[in-house]
């Protein structure tokens, strides 16, 4: 049987970047230049001109401030797949996510399949810590802002056919939860479409490293995570592979465009032994919520 205290430490480490990706939608974000841009960038349906890298980064900062001040209550469906390849344990949990602005988050179970150990000691712990983090509103320390990171422009690329500006990011402090990697901003809107990298400072001796990719969608002017893929290399328990997909965002009865909430495809992850890990969820069964 796997050591539960070690699992708890691993999950805490996972939350450092999962929380930065998910809870940052509710977290305070500041530290960008106070340059003012027309608010039409959040809602215009007309063709937009390409932004220079500096303008895209500044607009990204303004969008973050807008999101902190204006993000309404919403609901969505979250599906979490967690796998421990070394022990061949796996679980898939689907839940309804309910966020009540500004700091209340609830999860309502829908369906689960897999190992009970994974459900109770990995997924449930992750969910509870995300709820606590949202309530405390302490995501500002790990938010992707110029206060926390140094941004260096690296050129242009594409994500699913959309042109993006690519920036390398390096932490300005040693706060646990910050990462070294890249962020990708839409050249037309300044919206963040992807963040990827490796956790810079391990939160525990038992965690060797955490690699992750987070994809975002621009919905109703807000950048919200639609898919998080992570591979954690931990001592004793080995590799931990997690995928968190969130779809069906609905803001106070106003659903987001389905075309914008489809998760990007992520290649199969490596377990560290050279064998790929299937990211295709198995059929899940309804569980009792009593």
Does 223 fall in a domain? yes
**Structural domain harbouring 269:** 4-38+48-286
Per residue of the chain (290 residues), what is the pLDDT tens digit? Answer: 555 665 655 665 665 555 455 545 444 333 444 444 333 344 445 678 999 999 999 999 999 888 877 889 999 999 999 999 999 999 999 999 999 998 999 999 999 999 999 999 899 999 998 999 888 877 778 889 999 999 999 999 999 999 999 999 999 999 888 999 999 999 999 999 999 999 988 777 778 899 999 999 999 889 999 999 999 998 888 899 999 999 999 998 566 643 333 333 333 333 333 333 333 333 333 333 33
Does 43 fall in a domain? no
- Which two three-digit tokens encode residue 107? 């999860």
Does 190 fall in a domain? yes
**Residues facing 196 on adjacent strands:** 182, 213
Could you write out the DSSP letters of every residue in 111-140?
Answer: EEEE-HHHIIIIIHHHHHHHHHHHHHT-GG
47 CB burial (10 A radius; 0-12, 13-18, 19+): exposed
CB 227 within 8 A of CB 215: yes
Instruction: Report H helices in the chain.
Output: 4-22, 53-70, 116-118, 124-136
CB 245 within 8 A of CB 78: yes
Rounded-to-5 percentages of helix, strand, coil across the chain = 25, 40, 35
178 CB burial (10 A radius; 0-12, 13-18, 19+): buried
Its pTM surpasses 0.85 = no
**Residues facing 171 on adjacent strands:** 149
Does 138 fall in a domain? yes
Does 131 fall in a domain? yes
Does 170 fall in a domain? yes
Q: How far apart are CA 198 and CA 180, in angstroms?
A: 6
Does 19 fall in a domain? yes
Looking at the structure of the chain, the number of domains it has is 1
CB 245 within 8 A of CB 226: yes
- Which two three-digit tokens encode residue 104? 């209340």
Does 166 fall in a domain? yes
Nearest to 122 by CA among 234, 227, 20: 234
């Amino acid at each position: 049987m796997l050591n539960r205290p070690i699992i708890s430490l691993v999950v805490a480490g996972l939350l450092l970047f999962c929380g930065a990706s998910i809870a940052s939608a509710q977290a305070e974000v500041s530290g960008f230049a106070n340059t003012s841009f027309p608010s039409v960038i959040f809602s215009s349906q007309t063709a937009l001109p390409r932004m220079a890298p500096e303008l895209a980064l500044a607009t990204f900062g303004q969008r973050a401030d807008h999101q902190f001040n204006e993000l309404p209550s919403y609901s969505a469906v979250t599906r979490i797949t967690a796998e421990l390849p070394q022990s061949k344990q796996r679980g898939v949990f689907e839940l309804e996510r309910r966020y009540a602005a500004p700091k209340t988050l609830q999860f309502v179970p829908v369906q689960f399949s897999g190992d009970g150990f994974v459900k109770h000691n990995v997924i449930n712990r992750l969910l509870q810590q995300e709820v606590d983090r949202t309530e405390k509103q302490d995501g500002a320390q790990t938010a992707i802002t110029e206060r926390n990171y140094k941004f260096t422009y690296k050129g242009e690329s594409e994500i699913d056919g959309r042109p993006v500006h690519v920036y390398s990011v390096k932490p300005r402090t040693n706060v646990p939860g910050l990462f070294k990697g890249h962020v990708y901003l839409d050249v037309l809107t300044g919206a963040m479409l992807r963040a990827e990298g490796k956790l810079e400072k391990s939160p525990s001796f038992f965690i060797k490293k955490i690699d992750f990719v987070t994809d975002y969608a621009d919905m109703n002017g807000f950048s919200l995570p639609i898919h998080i893929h992570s591979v954690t290399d931990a001592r004793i328990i080995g590799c931990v592979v997690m995928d968190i997909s969130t779809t069906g965002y609905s803001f106070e009865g106003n659903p987001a465009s389905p075309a914008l909430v489809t998760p990007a495809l992520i290649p199969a992850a490596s377990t560290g032994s050279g064998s790929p890990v299937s990211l295709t969820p198995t059929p899940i069964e309804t569980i009792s919520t009593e």
